[in-house]
Amino acid sequence: MDYHAFDGINGEKGVCASALDLLKWDQALHEHQLISPETQAEAFRASPITDQKAYHYGFGWKIYRDRPYIVFHHGLYRGFRNYFHRNLRDQSTIIILSNRNLGGRVTQIYQGLELLLAGKECKAPKASRLEQNTWAEFKRNLWIDYGSSPR
């Protein structure tokens, strides 16, 4: 609900993509249609100049220290929370695009999806108070009533 309709959103650095666009890009990476396997391997390798506490960083990809076969990137901007996750071992991909202020809940979502992809059981997180009240807030602030439709 923190999206501003007149904010001129056009994507980071002017790039906008749908989940399907990102999936096509991911498939092109898996098939080495965009860059050579050597260049791609370098992008997925941690640079020595990274934050060694949480994760490493390659060329545009964050890499978990404890799971170097997972490369990912996430982003946010007023009301948007996104996550792009590639498992280099099994070539699975998780793409989360949201126009809601999910904050840390994106982590819960992709961790649940990882469990499901691994064939494990996943319990859905309990809805937050914000999620429980979203419809009422939407109707109160954004709903336009055009009157009854003709019968």
State pLDDT tens for residues 63-111: 888 888 999 988 777 667 788 999 999 999 999 888 776 666 778 888 8
Domain range summary for the chain, segments of one domain joined by +:
12-141
Angle formed at CA 147 by CA 142 and CA 149, multiple of 5 degrees:
120
1 pLDDT band, cuts 50/70/90, is very low
Share of the chain above pLDDT 90, in %: 26
Of the candidate CATH numbers 3.40.50.620, 3.40.710.10, 3.40.47.10, 3.30.750.200, the domain formed by 12-141 belongs to 3.40.710.10
Q: Which residues contact 59 (CB under 8 A, 6 or more apart)?
A: 42, 43, 47
At 96 the three-state DSSP class reads strand
Any bridge partners for residue 84, and if so which? 73, 95
Mean confidence (pLDDT) of the chain: 79
- Kindly report the pTM of this predicted structure: 0.71
DSSP per residue over 72-89, as a string?
Answer: EEEEEETTEEEEEEEETT
Give the model confidence (pLDDT) of 32-56 as tens digits. 999 999 999 988 988 777 666 656 8
